[in-house]
Each structure stands twice: as structure tokens, then as C-alpha cells.
Structure 1
């Protein structure tokens, strides 16, 4: 007997539907009297209540109060020689000899002969001047004798009174002879001086910076021969702001001449150190910076443990006077806008412009905010203010060392 495939499929689906309906009906019937209902699931335990979490932002603060500190003034400047000379020829002539020390980098003593200019014509000029002096002395003696003879003849003439003309007693002639002798002596002095100038000498203890002539060079009066720096001392011109001047004693140049004020100098990288002193203060403002400067001097700069060369840029540390009622704050406490942020008694952020007196050793020393009448004895200053701080924000202050 053949079955139709479609009939078989329909029959299977029908039987499945019947069994499904029976199962659903059985699930809805109440349980039998001797049959226990399935135990109901135990109700979930309520969640334990956790401690409240603090949502206030926390900021690190330092507690400060006004104290006395010794100010330190920091300045910068360039070491320069006291004397910077462009050595020039005093006379004209051919350079016939040069000292081996007349080279850049050499240190020479005052009076050292650096070169020689041909002096033949200058020696001749000295001889001629000496001859002129001798002739002038002779002329003066002759004129004095003739004057004495003229006076004797006037007395023998028996005339009373003074001669009608001074020429009778040869008074003008005698004056002319004296003047001629004085002129001859000055000419001799000039000739001797010119002869001395044929030797090129150092006017002070000096460092040779450059030499502009060679053996055989012909120089004129005023020709630049080289450049010399004095080595006895160097000067550092240190411009200071008005606030920095207030942190220093009232310097007086007369007082500094008797008691110099010591200064510590450092190289810009901090590796080398020198000791100097304030020699004088300037009494004018520069046109460029509109600041007043003090002059620091270091003696024997090329004889130090570490040589202080002219042209070195240095940092100067000057001990100032003691200042009272200042806050000592870490440098990080000053915001990029130059403000100080603090936490008030209500835990709110506030700020005020920083009035910095000076900086020293990684700290800034500021004047307290005088406009806060109810300011507590100790202030909670934010150690590291953030750029997104807003005035009035409630915060949790945590004091840090």
C-alpha cells in the first residue's frame, strides 16, 4: 500500500500539536492533595547600604604664616674688562719689529714693548731739537749781556727818568730770547716723546684680543695696532627692577668705597662660582630697559681657581636686607597667570594676585594679601593650582609637607 508523502507530514504535525496541548493543560491544573507544591524561591536579600562616597575634589595645600626672611636679589650680566683699549700708533713709520707676545690670548705686563717703529728720523729730530735749545740758550746769554751794556750806557748818558722806548734797554729783545728758549725746550720734549712712541708699549696689564699689524707694515698716526683688555679686574653691569632695589640696603657709593658689599657669582650652568663685590651703583636709568644698575667687580679674574673670562655671562646672588611678614611658598604655588590659589574657611577655592618679593632656592617669598581683613593666621595655599580651577568651588584640602 502506497502512502502519500504529504499525508504523512500532516499526520505527524497533528499528533505533535495534540501532545503539546495536553502538556499545557496539565501544567495549569492544581497539584494533587498529597503532592507538595514546589518550594518558592527565597526572596533576594536587600543590598547592604554602603558608606557615602566623598565627591569633593581634593587639592594639596601648604599652611603658611607671615615670617621674617633675608631677601636675595638675583641678577644677570656680562663680565667686561674695566679698560677696553684700541691701541693706536702715536707716530708714523715702518714697523721693523714685533714682540712674540703681541698675539691674541697672551697676557702681558704694563710697559711691555710690543713692537718697534723705525726711529731714525725721530732720533735726528731729537738731535736737532737739542741743537736748537743750545742755540736759544746762547742767544739768551748774548741778549742778557747786550741788555746790561745798554743799561750801563743809559746811566752814563746822565739823562733822567726812563728811556722813551723800551728798545733802548733791549727789554723786548730779552723777552723774545727767553721765549725762544722755552719753545726750543718744548720742541726737544716733543721730539723725545715722539722717539719714545716708536716703541709700542702696553699701557696696563692686559690681555691681547687682536693684533692688526705685521712686520713691515707702515703705520700713520692713529692707525689701529690691536685691541687690549685690562686684566686687573672685570666689571659686571647688573640691571635691577624697582622691587629688587627695595630688597637691598640704601647703597651709597662713598660707603661702598670703604666697605664693599660681597656678591656671589655663578656661571649660567651653575658649575663655576666666583666671589666679587659691589663697587658702585649707577644714578641713572638706561634708555632701553628703564632700570638702574649696580656694578659688581671681580679682582684678578684670570687668577681665580676657575678663570672668569671677559664676555662670560654670569648670574649674581646678592644678599639683601631682612624682610618681615612674608610667606614662603613653593614655586609651583604660583599659577601661570601669576595668582595664588587658597582654600578659605568654608572650603571654597579663592585666588589673589601674587606679590612676589624675591625667589630663593626653589621657593618664592610673597607679601600676604593685605586686602583680606579677616585673613586667618595660617593660610591654606594650593600647592599646585590647575588651569581649570574656578573661584567658589567646594574642595577638600589635604595638607602636604
Structure 2
């Protein structure tokens, strides 16, 4: 029984301790929250001005004003030799010799012997022509002597006046003998020329593009022997738009002969460059592009640090005239629709069509856009905040926060 009483006492004391602990904990808890909804005045705090501004969409802008820049015109063209010759045979015959230099890729000098045509028949014709000239000279001398005798006989006859017929003094016979000699000389000249044509020579310093003959082949007058490109210079025809022509000085061909205009040429990959000059401008529009071209020349193209081969596609950079009151913008500032987006004095987005004068080194140079503000301040330089990277989601009149970027 004693053990049971002890257990009861311990149990009662434990329950009392627990009750005391629960009471203390309840005393420390905060009063229950008021489940009633708060009023608008209690839940909404007043928004400050800086907080409102921070909620505006932010756009990067560049600040520009009109300045003077030198225009640059960029065009494209293909390097072509000044002379492209399809070499043809002047006489017929069998090819007896072909020069080892007469091969594609070889550069040959003017007058270099490229090949020979059998000249036996032409040498025979030359000898015959020489014989005919000698005979014609003899006939003329005999006719001159007979004419002198006829004139002496007429004078001895004692007749006065002129003979009734020119045949008396052999005047027509003398004219015929003189003409025969002239004809024989022309035949001799042609025979000599035919003999020279049996030697195939280069008419200018040239690059051999192709050879179409070989020893033993037979050619006729007009047969193609090969193709030659002149190597003294190459020409690049650069077509330009009307806007590009406006950015260049008014070139005159007579002035360009005295003072050529320098042009820098670049390869398509931009790794190589050459220095050329404008030799002339064309005075007509091409039927395909309806544009007018200028002709750029590079001297000694195969003697450059990097050879400029005929057929090379090049990019021409031409310094133009100075343009005043022009904006310099990053190329990204022009939208896909060709517009310029800007932030006006009220912080609103606006746009205007871009009038591009030229592009250079990642920048685009445009004419200033005219707004009500700039129209009222005609005597002041127009300073504008131009959006650097306009988005397709932009809408005119949107309030934005402009952040100037370098």
C-alpha cells in the first residue's frame, strides 16, 4: 500500500507542474489577431516620386547633335584587265613551233614569240611580189623612155598646138605603168605582212589565260590561238546609287587625268588591300542596274605586295566630300523598319524615318530629324536623345526613363 501512495503523490505533483508550465506559456503568447479586413487607408502607403520613376521602362540612349563629317562611299566591283584579247591567226597554215612560255599562268612581254606557222608558201609569195615590183619598175622606165621619144618626134614634126590624142605622147601608157608599180608595191607589202603573221607574237605585256594550239595543228585565218589579259593595270567598274554620287565631288574626266582620286580597295574577306585611283567616270546608266559607274584603276596588279588577280571581287572605299550638320549614330540605332526612335523632352518615345547619308566603321551618319522642338530652334544645334537599340515592341508615346550610354 505504501508503494501505491507514493506513486499517486508523484503523479499528482507531475500534473501540477505541467499545468503551471502551460499557464506561463499562455501568458507569454501575443493577443489573437483581429480577423477584420484592414481599411484602404491602413493597407496602402503613399508612393514617392522616386518610386514612380523607378517603375518606368528604362531605355539606353545616345545624345547627338549635328556636326561635320567626311563622307565615305562604299561600292563593289570585279577586277578586270584593261585589255582582254582572244588571239587569232592572221594566216592559214600548220603550227610548226609553240613557245614554252605560251602556257596558262605565264606572264609574257610585248613582242614575245608565242609560236610559228609554216611560212613556205608565204615566202614564195613574197619572192613573187618582189619580182613583180622589179618588173613594174622596169616597165615604168621603158614607158618613160618611150614617152620622151614620142615627145621629141612630135616636136620635130613642126606641128603646132597639142596632139589630137594623148596616145601620141603616150600619157595614158605612162599612167598605167605608174599604177602597176604602185599595185606591185602594195602586193609586196601584203606578202611581207603575211610572212610576219606566221610569227605569232604578244601585242602587249600579257598574262596567258589559255592556249588553244599545239605543234602540228592546222589553223585557218581567224582561228583562235589563245586568250591574253593585259597586266599593266586592272580596272574595277563600281556602280553607285544616286545618293552615293551626291556624297562625292563632281568628278570631271579631264580633271581626273591630271589629278586622279585615290581609292582604297579591300578583298572580300578584308584580309588584303590595294591602293587605286579613279581614272574616269561613265556618262551612262547600265541597263541592268540603272546606275552610273566610276572606273577605278590599279597599276601593275601582279607586282603588288599581294597580287590583285583579274576576276577578284573587291570592296572600294572612296573618301567623299565633307557634310555639315550630320548625326553620327551606332548602326544599331536604325530599326528594322528604317526608323530612328528618340526620347522627347517629356520623356515619351517617338520615331521618325532615317535619312542615311553614309555608313562607316560601325556607325551610320544621318540627316537630323525635324521635330516641333528643333523646328522652333532653327538657329540652335539640335540635341536629341536617340535610342541606341530600339525594340520591335516600342510604341509611340510610351513614358520611359532615358539612360545615357557611351
TM-score (normalizing by structure 1): 0.88
Shift of 1:56: 1.3
Q: CA deviation at 1:48?
A: 10
Choose which of 382, 388, 391 in structure 1 pairs with 2:396.
391
Which residue in the other structure is 2:335 paired with? Answer: 335
Q: 1:44 to 1:74 in 2, by over 3 A?
A: farther
Distance in 1 between residues matched to 2:198 and 2:165, nearest whole Å: 49
Residue 361 to residue 44, structure 1, CA distance change in 2 (3 Å): farther
1:131 alignment counterpart: 131
Deviation at 1:370, TM superposition (A): 3.7
SS in 2 for 1:140: helix
The CA deviation at 1:377 is 2.6
Deviations 1:6-46 (A, max 9, x none): xxxxxxxxxxxxxxxxxxxxxxxxxxxxx9x9577257798
The answer on 1:378 being equivalent to 2:370 is no
SS in 1 for 2:322: strand
Partner SS for 2:141: helix
Partner of 1:315: 315
What's 1:244 paired with?
Answer: 244
Aligned partner of residue 159 in structure 2, secondary structure: coil
Output the CA distance in 1 between the equivalents of 2:127 and 2:388.
86
User: What is the match of residue 112 of structure 1?
Assistant: 112
Matched, 1:201 2:201: yes
Supply the distance in 2 between the matched residues of 1:108 and 1:233 (Cα, whole angstroms). Answer: 15
Q: Secondary structure in 2 aligned to 1:214?
A: coil
1:59, 1:75 → 2: CA distance?
35
SS in 1 for 2:351: strand
- 1:59-86, Cα deviation, whole Å (9 max, x unpaired): 0000000000000000100000000000
Q: How many residues align?
A: 366
Going from structure 1 to structure 2, the CA distance change for 1:40 and 1:272 (only over 3 Å counts) comes to closer
Residue deviations 1:184-240 (CA, integer Å, cap 9, x gap): 000000000000000000000000000111111100000000000000000000000
Partner Cα distance (2:33, 2:290) in 1: 81
Deviations 1:222-268 (A, max 9, x none): 00000000000000000001111111111000000000001000001
> 3-state DSSP class of the match of 1:210?
strand
For 2:30, the equivalent position in structure 1 comes to 41
What secondary structure does 2:111 align onto? coil
Partners in 2 of 1:136 and 1:48 — Cα distance? 128
Moved more, 43-52 or 200-209: 43-52
Question: Secondary structure of the residue that 1:101 maps to in structure 2?
Answer: coil
CA separation of 1:304/1:39 partners in 2, compared to 1, >3 Å: closer, same or farther?
A: closer
User: Please, what is the CA RMSD of the aligned residues?
Assistant: 1.9
- Can you give the 5+ residue segments of structure 2 that lack an aligned partner in the other structure? 1-23, 35-41
Q: Which residue of 2 aligns with 1:10?
A: none
Aligned positions of 1:17-56 closer than 5 A:
41-42=30-31, 52=51, 54-56=54-56
Higher helix content, 1 or 2 = 2
CA distance in 1, matches of 2:28, 2:115: 124
Cα displacement (A) at 1:369: 1.5
* Matches of 1:111 and 1:130, distance apart in 2: 26
Task: Give the secondary structure class of the aligned counterpart of 1:278.
Answer: strand
- Residue 73 of structure 1 corresponds to 73
Query: Matches of 1:308 and 1:40 in 2, distance apart?
Result: 92
Corresponding position of 1:345: 345
Tell me the residue number matched to 1:163.
163
Distance 1:141 1:38 in 2: 160
Distance 1:324 1:332 in 2: 22
After TM superposition, the runs of 4+ consecutive aligned structure 1 residues lying more than 4 A away are 37-40, 42-51
> Could you tell me which residue of structure 1 aligns to residue 233 of structure 2?
233
1:377-398 CA distance string (max 9 Å, x none): 3100000001111111111110
Q: Can you list the C-alpha shifts for 1:305-334, whole angstroms capped at 9, x where unaligned? A: 000000000000101111000000000000
TM-score between the two structures when normalised by the length of structure 2: 0.87
